[in-house]
Amino acid sequence: MKSHAKAVVIGGGVVGCSVLYHLAKAGWTDILLIERSELTSGSSWHAAGGFHTLNGDPNVAKLQAYTVQLYKEIEEISGQSCSLHLTGGVMMADTPERMDFLRLAHAKGRYLGMDTELITPSEAKAMFPLMDETNFVGAMWDPVEGHLDPSGTTHAYAKAARKLGAEIVLRNRVVELTQEVDGTWNVVTEQGTVKAEHVVNCGGLWAREIGRMVGVELPVLAMEHMYLLTEPMPEVEEFNKSTGREMIGVLDFKGEIYTRQERNGILLGTYEKACKPWSPVNTPWDFGHELLQPDIDRIAPSLEIGFKHFPGIEKAGIKQIINGPFTFALDGNPLVGPVQGLTNFWCACAVMAGFSQGGGVGLALSNWMVHGDPGFDVWGMDVARFGEWATLRYTNAKVRENYSRRFSIRFPNEELPAARPAQTTPLYDTMLANNAVMGDSWGLETPLWFAPKGSEPKDVVSFHRSNDFGPIGEEVRATREKVGVTEIANFAKYEVSGPGAEDFLNRLMTNRMPKTGRIVLTPMLNEFGRLIGDFTIAKAGEERFMIWGSSAAQKYHMRWFEKHLPKDGPRASEVRIHRFDQTLVGLSIAGPKSRDLLQKLVDVDISTKAFRFMDFREMAVGGAPCMVNRITYTGDLGYEIWMAPAYQRLVYKAIKEAGEEFGLIDFGMRALLSMRLEKNFPTWFRELRPIYGPFEGSMDRFIKLEKNDFIGREAAAREQAAGPKLRRVSFIVDAADADVMGDEPIWAKVGGKDYGTVEKPHGYGAPRFDAGGKEVRGSNAAEGASAVRGIVDGDWRVVGWITSGGYAHYVEKSMAQGYVPAALAENESAGLFEIEILGHRRPARINVEPPFDPSGERMRT
């Protein structure tokens, strides 16, 4: 074993071998993989080996599509077969709600270039005759599904990596990780110590233990997962013989099961409600190629439904039940990327769908390590997306919830209950007493909307407008016409101070820093000129700045801030960064009466001239020391009031008492988001993401290319000079009883013109056949006449995608934001655009100016 390496990958499962291969492919050959036992000794060897491209996050779906494409490549390089079976598969819907879910998934696939198709249960039965189609109302066919040999695939990655110069050391456990002052890692193993510039945690079942070696508690938990293999079935053999094909894979939401052909029988697996964690505190190092004791009683409810839905399987003999542990993160997606607070320590773990995602994870992480950027929008997998609140017990509860809901629909207005409340503000009980419906905002309980007195404060979950629609409308109208108050503790809050603070922020941000007592809005870019942040910055003193941003990005942004702090020499101590988290909380008041209300609570002049729009001031509010910004996300006259938690109840009580004469109302986050739509304001991680440039994001007025050499400036200047290819736009939609939710395709009537914005199909596909072996394409019997399969329909073409939207209650319009080709971005013509909502294409038109207060007079009044 070598004593020095540029990078050491810990863990020899499919993910570790993929990372090793991609690093070698990128040109890093001085790399070493260390495995405690044999390759595939964790979860990889007993995996069911299924793969698919569909994912709730379209950006993760892209990486899954890449993974499937990759298998032929690694077979050719390694000479090792992956035993790839590209059968295609169907998702079966047994209710109208689940059919709506499939329509959403199908629509997302349009702009991803995926070749999915909505079909009838009878058409699905033709490809999987073991089912009783009368249990279902529809299905979605995906040609890019199938299965492979887990062991062969892992070894194909490993052999390909070796051929490119990588080294693999087996039967050698890592026992300790330490770091030198210069950042070099000491990887201490049973066979000696390796000094490495980078360490990658691909520990799988032991990823949590590897993290603990460097003081990190990763939010990952292993769950027992069972699937069964049947004896050979005559029905399967007859289907294979008569059609010359293998049976497809099937996912049944109701039964919470997946099934496919395995040799001459069937493999059937389940994500049961009565799920069971495995080793929830510590993973034993001596666990190896062992299986866990099957517990068929635990999966009996799912099997009962499965046998009803697939009666052809019920009489088959069970040859074997596989029960093995797989690791999960809180939301089911992987944990990938650099760990905030550590230098060159990387994660690629909790990849429970390793044979769907392993290739994409390896590609993204290798890009990140070699080039400084993953090359994709990987927020859905970023290890920084969880905060300190994701403790061991919190993780245990949320992973169990996620596992038990693996095949359940997540409605857009659905809040999941496990491990809540985790974080609360001093107003939590008060909000509940006010009949608030609470939501989880990066682990913090936040009011979403307020139910009328006498009614239960609870969401009725739906893809359509629901029971919150009326109350949110009341909250918006009362705020726009009088005054409203909302809690804003869920914003990120930072303080940057020191003699180098202004230079530091000027280097990071695209806008000029404000003068003392003033505020600016500014994006932040990476080296490639892509949007990685959006902030409100106030200059609170000569060497002190207050910063507000997205709460979900706190660790993501702290990682970036720390990366760019002055490291050496006399400037090393010139900048200090403090993240407040919940040690600073806030309230916002907005509406035409908000100044009158606030004036009653302060002892200073806050008239228009004395306290201007975009001013910052420290003042006592209701007798409590506060910081006040004259700005709100509502786009109306209003104020953000920030205070220590000890003062929040005092300030809120003072606001409520003073607000009675002005008709004050409490409003929640959903009303706030409704009001921002009326102003065409973007949101972070929906409209503004690392796949967009600042001019694509229509952030032009905040980009000061002439100010100094900020990070990403050259790339931004090139984007401006060439002209952005895409543009963020706002739509008014002729919606029915459902508004956009995000990720819907945008159709445009552009004739034969190709604007080049729709991603091309990924090239891997299996045709669909009927029971007689005849290829079937384009019937769309379950889809209805209002939508057509594919990305082209006569003169209509999918040209973009929706990022977010909803109902704008004050202007009484259904609205949406999204990205379209720049050439179409200012075309407000009626009849040019349609947006596909739940399988129906609804007319839409761009509105360049915001429908509420387009001149911005109310904000500046």
Q: How far apart are CA 773 and CA 771, in angstroms?
A: 6
3-state secondary structure of 825: coil
Q: Are strands 146-147 and 50-51 parallel, antiparallel or unpaired?
A: antiparallel
pLDDT in tens, 600-632: 999 999 999 999 999 999 999 999 999 999 999
Q: What is the DSSP string of 49-62?
A: -EE----SSHHHHH
Model confidence at 787: pLDDT above 90? no
Range 674-689 average pLDDT: 96
Q: How far apart are CA 545 and CA 580, in angstroms?
A: 13
Q: How far apart are CA 590 and CA 700, in angstroms?
A: 26
Read off the DSSP letter of residue 423.
B
Model confidence at 151: pLDDT above 60? yes
Q: Are 99 and 392 within 8 A, CB to CB?
A: no
pLDDT in tens, 544-568: 999 999 999 999 999 999 999 988 7
pLDDT in tens, 160-201: 999 999 999 999 999 999 999 999 999 999 999 999 999 999
Amino acid at 46: H
Q: What is the DSSP string of 761-800?
A: P-S----EE-TTS-EE----TTT-TT--SSSEETTEEEEE
Model confidence at 802: pLDDT above 60? yes
Q: Hey, what are 660's tokens?
A: 């009675």
Q: What pLDDT, on a 0 to 100 scale, did the predictor assign at position 57? A: 82
Q: Hey, what are 12's tokens?
A: 């020899």
Q: Are 639 and 629 within 8 A, CB to CB?
A: yes
Amino acid at 847: N
Other Cβ atoms less than 10 A from the Cβ of 832: the count is 18
Length of the chain: 861
The 3-state secondary structure of 197-224 reads EEEEECCHHHHHHHHHCCCCCCCEEEEE
Q: Is the bond preceding residue 421 a cis peptide, omega within 30 degrees? A: yes
Q: How far apart are CA 134 and CA 482, in angstroms?
A: 55
- Matching residue, tokens 């939710």: 741
The fraction of the chain above a pLDDT of 70, given in percent, is: 96
Q: Are 167 and 110 within 8 A, CB to CB?
A: no
Q: How far apart are CA 373 and CA 377, in angstroms?
A: 10
Q: How far apart are CA 631 and CA 315, in angstroms?
A: 67
Q: What pLDDT, on a 0 to 100 scale, did the predictor assign at position 775? A: 65
The fraction of the chain above a pLDDT of 90, given in percent, is: 90
pLDDT in tens, 250-264: 999 999 999 999 999
List the one residue out of 336, 40, 345 whose CA is nearest residue 177: 345
Q: Are 491 and 500 within 8 A, CB to CB?
A: no
Amino acid at 449: W
Q: What pLDDT, on a 0 to 100 scale, did the predictor assign at position 112? A: 81
Q: Are strands 665-666 and 484-487 parallel, antiparallel or unpaired?
A: parallel
Q: How far apart are CA 74 and CA 14, in angstroms?
A: 12
Range 642-667 average pLDDT: 98
- Band (pLDDT 50/70/90 cuts) for residue 530 is very high
| Pairs from 438-443 (Cβ < 8 Å, separation ≥ 24) | 439/415, 439/669, 440/415, 440/416, 441/490, 441/551, 441/552, 441/669, 442/387, 442/389, 442/490, 442/551, 442/552, 442/554, 443/387, 443/389, 443/390, 443/394
Q: Are 590 and 475 within 8 A, CB to CB?
A: no
Could you give the residue ranges of the DSSP H alpha helices within 321-391? 354-371
Q: What pLDDT, on a 0 to 100 scale, did the predictor assign at position 752? A: 79
- Matching residue, tokens 């002729």: 734
Residues 6+ apart with CB under 8 A from 284: none
Q: Are strands 544-550 and 89-93 parallel, antiparallel or unpaired?
A: unpaired
Q: What pLDDT, on a 0 to 100 scale, did the predictor assign at position 792? A: 87
Residues 6+ apart with CB under 8 A from 409: 97, 98, 101, 253
Q: Hey, what are 839's tokens?
A: 């399988």
Q: What pLDDT, on a 0 to 100 scale, did the predictor assign at position 500? A: 95
Q: Are 778 and 789 within 8 A, CB to CB?
A: yes
Q: What pLDDT, on a 0 to 100 scale, did the predictor assign at position 289? A: 81
pLDDT in tens, 292-348: 999 999 999 999 999 999 999 998 999 999 999 999 999 999 999 999 999 999 999
The chain-wide mean pLDDT, for the chain, equals 94
List the one residue out of 150, 158, 145, 153 whose CA is nearest residue 82: 153
Amino acid at 519: I
CA atoms within 13 A on the CB side of 789: 16
Residue 748: enclosing H or E segment and its boundaries? Answer: strand 745-749
Sign of CA dihedral 714, 720, 724, 729: positive
Judge residue 451's burial from the number of C-beta atoms within 10 Å of its C-beta, 0-12 exposed, 13-18 middle, 19 or more buried.
middle
3-state secondary structure of 335: strand
Read off the DSSP letter of residue 820.
E
Higher-confidence position of 359 and 569: 359
How far is residue 578 from each of residues 160, 385, 493, 558, 645, measured CA to CA in Å? 45, 19, 9, 9, 17
Q: What is the pTM of this model?
A: 0.95
Q: What pLDDT, on a 0 to 100 scale, did the predictor assign at position 772? A: 60
pLDDT in tens, 38-75: 999 999 999 999 998 888 788 888 889 899 999 999 99
Q: How far apart are CA 312 and CA 147, in angstroms?
A: 21
Range 760-780 average pLDDT: 54
- Matching residue, tokens 């404060």: 457
Model confidence at 844: pLDDT above 50? yes
pLDDT in tens, 61-111: 888 989 999 999 999 999 999 999 999 999 999 999 999 999 999 998 888
pLDDT in tens, 700-710: 999 999 999 99
